[in-house]
Amino acid sequence: MQDKTFNIIISGVGGQGVITLLSLIDEAAFIEGYDVKSSELHGLSQRGGSVEVHVRFGKKIDSPLIPSGSADLVISLEMLEGLRELMRTGKNTKFLINEYCLPFQGSLAKEEIKDHFKAIGDRLHLVAASDICKEKLQNEVVSTIYLLGYAVHKKLIPIKKESVIKAIERIVPEKYRELNIKAFQLAHD
Amino acid sequence: MDKNKKILLGDEAIVRGALEAGVDFVSGYPGCPSAEIGEEFFKIAKENGIYAEWSTNEKVALESAIGASFSGLKSLVNMKSFGINVCSDSLLPLVYTGTKAGMVIVVADDPSCWSSAQSEQDSRGYAYLSHIPMLEPSDPQECYDFTKLGFELSEKFNLPVILRITTRVAHQRMPVDFNKVDSKPQKTGEFIKNPLQFSTMPPRVLEMKKELLDKLERIKAYADKSKINLITKPQKPAEVGIAASGVAYLYVLEALKELDIDISVLKVNLFYPLANITVSRFIKDLKKVLVVEELEGYLEKELNAIAKDANPKLQVFGKALLPEIGELDVEKVCLALAKITGKKFKKNITKQLSLPKRTARLCEGCPYWYIFPVIKRIAPEGTIFGGDIGCNMIAGLPPHNMQDFLFSMGASLGISHGVKKSTKQKVISIMGDGTFFHAGMPALVNAVYNKSNPLVVILDNRITAMTGHQQNPGMGKTGMGESTEELKIEEIAKACGVKHIKVLDPINVKDLENSIKEFLAKDEASVIICRRICALLAKRQKQ
């Protein structure tokens, strides 16, 4: 268990499963004995717009929002939404981005987004989670869980695999549990 | 009682607190960020002997709870910010009569308008207007603690108490310590007649006002004596202090760590009535104080007033250094604090980009995808489109861009009537089923009665969708999941005297086109009900 507070921004598009991912990280950190705080958004902002939520865990957490520049990790379920986080993060922030675009009128091309990401060099982990989950599990929605598996496996997040599995068992409804655990494990294979 | 610790959302923690306080009766109207309170109650109501309902609007919700309180049942009312505007007509007299059994009213503001049109309302202003005691928690643990405290104060002083939360409190999660509660049977109350207390008929109403003002003095004294508000002292005496409330207090704690400052902090938990003696004691030896509160500068004004006697040389900083628009965050507090302490603070951001904005949009498969384009295509050039609250307000965003005004629940029709009476233009008012029941009905009666002819298109997607799918009177199901009378919008419209009514399935585009054409030519008010289930709900029902 580490003393320093660990800060995660999760971003994506409303409906992609941002809040499920937040709840799982909250629960897993809580299982490990950390103090936890998170902040999320519901309602209008959830109807297909940009969504950004914050998760923090450590010894004692005060603010539910991460001070700007202090995120340790950004997990984004969509490329452009991940790119936005460059404006809220600092020089040590790592980025775990789903290589997946949900375009809208006026949105940037994938290559353009990739160009912008060059600024952060090897702090970027671009992972085709949606494609992998579609191919291996015939289900795109669990790409969020795949990304979490990736983050744990690559030690981008200081939480044990077992804690996440326990969190999935507690939070995910029974009929989707097996699929979620599969998606989580997939990143370890 | 068993101890428990679980990660809870602020809204869920309120439910836990109310449960422990022994709440019997819960009413409310769903809105963001308060909707999870009602939903959570429905999950646990039956096993805990609680009656819970979604009322047709916040005024009716409050009145239902007043009935319960007068009958000896403890009640909780939940609503978003604008709900208090709707229920204020009954809130003011309630504070005069006082409650019999305890009542907590949860009002959830939304600084930065994450999920709110209308206005960036700071509902703390209602404390002054109505003289209602108001508590402000900062996090889910306090949501739990202060709900219990709210019931305690309410029972002690026979007044309703508002628990004022904001988005970052309601939708904040953390591990919360709470007690397990044994289930109880549903309580049957008794209304014992006492018109002297419950009827505000003059001249009694003025005596009631006197009783109210006396109660407030007693609450102030109680707050000064008890530890409702919290003062944290620094290791070494400091000349600068901070007064903060709500979630802003947490940003203050973070900012103090960030800037490595140790000063005294007053956490104002009871916003109204403000404990003057506590505040006087806090500011007595300070030279400067920074007031950190979101939106309006109410506390700042209070501190300035108290300082006139307690410490006339005190410099009070608030809205001069912190924005009145939008929610606060750690960075904004750091900047303000750095300014008055002379500390250095630098932003730590990788880069600035100018990226296209992704706005809210209709969900995939939403029946409104059929409706908006057809209305826009068929309506003659220059037709005025009245927008309303709910998913249908997405009509105002691209690619639809068909919203000429947007106000409050049901206002599309009230304003459309006014435009119709004032011009020769075509007017179409667009509202959802939930909104029609909430506040659309009186406006429809008005349009018919006062002989104007807007076209009202009611988007009946069989549920109150935007706030997360809550039951409404058109569904034949109560919030508790029981079967009930299904109120038909077409029958209500008919009873309101509307002559031209059409119910259709919007995927029958031709039908919709023809009805719009036909009704726009009428001299009387007309109603088209586009009935098709919300796509998300349909998907969920299939699973």
Q: What is the per-residue pLDDT across B76-134, written as a single tens digit (0 to 9) for each? A: 999 999 999 999 999 999 999 999 999 999 999 999 999 999 999 999 999 999 999 99
Say whether B358 and A80 touch across the interface (CB within 8 A). yes
| Greatest extent of chain B over all pairs of C-alpha atoms, in Å | 79
B217: Cβ contacts below 8 Å, ≥ 6 apart: B273
**Rounded Cα distance, B261 and B250, in Å:** 15
- Paired tokens of B397: 């965003």
Residue among A41, A9, A52, A169 nearest B9 (CA): A41
B370: Cβ contacts below 8 Å, ≥ 6 apart: B506, B507, B509, B512, B530, B532
Q: What is the DSSP secondary structure assignment for residue B509, as one 8-state letter?
A: H
pLDDT band (50, 70, 90) for residue B265: very high
A148 Cα to chain B: minimum distance (Å):
19
Is the peptide bond preceding residue B399 cis, with omega within 30 degrees of 0? yes
Q: Choose the closest CB to A48 out of B349, B352, B361.
A: B361
B202: Cβ contacts below 8 Å, ≥ 6 apart: none
CB-CB neighbors (< 8 A) of B244 in chain A: none
Indicate the angle between helix axes B330-341 and B248-259, nearest 10 degrees.
60
What mean pLDDT do residues B47-73 have? 98
Q: Choose the closest CB to A107 out of B175, B349, B356.
A: B356
- Paired tokens of B353: 């980009």
**Rounded Cα distance, A14 and B83, in Å:** 25
Cβ atoms within 10 A of the Cβ of B205, count? Answer: 13
Res. B58: pLDDT tops 70: yes
pLDDT of residue A188: 86
B432: Cβ contacts below 8 Å, ≥ 6 apart: B388, B389, B390, B391, B392, B458, B459, B460, B461, B464, B465, B466
pLDDT of residue B76: 98
B355 Cα to chain A: minimum distance (Å):
7
Tell whether A1 is covered by a domain. Answer: no
CB-CB neighbors (< 8 A) of B254 in chain A: 62-63, 67
Sign, Cα dihedral of A126, A130, A132, A133:
positive
pLDDT of residue A45: 67
Q: Choose which CATH entry (3.40.50.970, 3.40.50.2300, 1.10.238.10, 3.40.50.720) describes domain B3-225.
A: 3.40.50.970
Q: Choose the closest CB to B360 out of A40, A45, A80.
A: A45
CB-CB neighbors (< 8 A) of A38 in chain B: 172-174
As a whole number of Å, the end-to-end CA separation of chain A is 25
Say whether A86 and B351 touch across the interface (CB within 8 A). yes
Nearest CA in chain A to B36: A42
Mutation target to probe the B interface, by most B beta carbons within 10 A, among A10, A16, A21, A44 is: A44
CB-CB neighbors (< 8 A) of A120 in chain B: 350
Residue among B488, B467, B382 nearest B428 (CA): B382
User: Model-level pTM?
Assistant: 0.97
pLDDT of residue B44: 96
CB-CB neighbors (< 8 A) of A83 in chain B: 353, 355
Residue among B485, B480, B475, B486 nearest B186 (CA): B480
Q: What is the per-residue pLDDT across B184-234, written as a single tens digit (0 to 9) for each? A: 899 999 999 999 999 999 999 999 999 999 999 999 999 999 989 999 999
What mean pLDDT do residues B242-263 have? 97
Res. B280: pLDDT tops 80: yes
What mean pLDDT do residues B248-266 have? 96
pLDDT of residue A35: 97
**Domain range for A107:** 6-186
Half-sphere exposure of B398 (CA within 13 A, CB side): 7
Amino acid at B404: D
Q: Residue B163 belongs to what H/E stretch?
A: strand B161-166
Res. B313: pLDDT tops 60: yes
pLDDT of residue B388: 97
How much of chain B, in percent, has pLDDT values that exceed 70? 99
> Which three-class secondary structure state does DSSP give residue B466?
coil
Residue among B264, B8, B473 nearest A38 (CA): B8
Q: How many A×B Cβ pairs under 8 Å?
A: 154
Say whether A41 and B353 touch across the interface (CB within 8 A). no
Indicate the angle between helix axes A143-153 and A161-171, nearest 10 degrees.
160
B63: Cβ contacts below 8 Å, ≥ 6 apart: B87, B90
Q: Residue B416 belongs to what H/E stretch?
A: helix B411-422
Half-sphere exposure of B133 (CA within 13 A, CB side): 36
Mutation target to probe the A interface, by most A beta carbons within 10 A, among B4, B5, B6, B7 is: B7
Say whether A43 and B33 touch across the interface (CB within 8 A). yes
Residue A10 sits in a domain whose CATH number is: 3.40.920.10
Tell whether A79 is covered by a domain. Answer: yes
Residue among B428, B419, B424, B425 nearest B454 (CA): B428
Q: Residue B340 belongs to what H/E stretch?
A: helix B330-341
B65 Cα to chain A: minimum distance (Å):
26
Q: Residue B265 belongs to what H/E stretch?
A: strand B264-267
B40 Cα to chain A: minimum distance (Å):
15
Contact predicate A56/A66, CB 8 Å: yes
Q: What is the per-residue pLDDT across B365-385, written as a single tens digit (0 to 9) for each? A: 999 999 999 999 999 999 999
Residue among B167, B118, B141 nearest B328 (CA): B167
pLDDT of residue B349: 67
Fold of B230-341: Rossmann fold (3.40.50)
Query: Which residue ranges of chain A lie beneath pLDDT 50?
Result: none
Mean pLDDT of chain B: 96
Q: Choose the closest CB to B355 out of A14, A27, A83.
A: A83
**Rounded Cα distance, B29 and B60, in Å:** 9
Cβ atoms within 10 A of the Cβ of B222, count? Answer: 16
Mutation target to probe the B interface, by most B beta carbons within 10 A, among A3, A5, A42 is: A42
pLDDT of residue B1: 55
Say whether A104 and B358 touch across the interface (CB within 8 A). yes
pLDDT of residue B71: 98
Domain B368-542, CATH 3.40.50.740 — does that match?
A: no
Amino acid at B6: K
A188 Cα to chain B: minimum distance (Å):
27
pLDDT band (50, 70, 90) for residue B264: very high
> Which three-class secondary structure state does DSSP give residue B136?
coil
How much of chain B, in percent, has pLDDT values that exceed 90? 94
Domains B3-225 and B368-542 share a fold: yes
B6 Cα to chain A: minimum distance (Å):
9
Q: Choose the closest CB to A62 out of B7, B175, B254.
A: B254
CB-CB neighbors (< 8 A) of B398 in chain A: 105
Q: Choose the closest CB to A67 out of B175, B254, B391.
A: B254
pLDDT of residue B333: 97
Q: Choose the closest CB to B7 out of A26, A69, A107.
A: A26
pLDDT of residue B109: 98
Contact predicate B70/B191, CB 8 Å: yes
Secondary structure in 3-state letters for B17-85: HHHHHCCCEEEECCCCCCHHHHHHHHHHCHHHCCEEEECCCHHHHHHHHHHHHHCCCCEEEEEECCHHH
CA B530 to chain CA centroid, Å, is 28
Q: Choose the closest CB to B466 out of A35, A43, A88.
A: A43
Buried/exposed code over B426-449 (b: 16+ C-beta within 10 A; e: otherwise): bbbbbbbbbbbbbbbbebbebbbe
Cβ atoms within 10 A of the Cβ of B195, count? Answer: 9
Contact predicate B234/B111, CB 8 Å: no
Q: What is the per-residue pLDDT across B407-416, written as a single tens digit (0 to 9) for each? A: 999 999 999 9
pLDDT of residue A42: 85
What are the boundaries of each domain within chain B?
3-225, 230-341, 368-542
CA B347 to chain CA centroid, Å, is 33
CB-CB neighbors (< 8 A) of B115 in chain A: 41-46
Number of domains in chain A: 1
Contact predicate B289/B303, CB 8 Å: yes
Say whether B258 and A67 touch across the interface (CB within 8 A). yes
Contact predicate B57/B409, CB 8 Å: yes
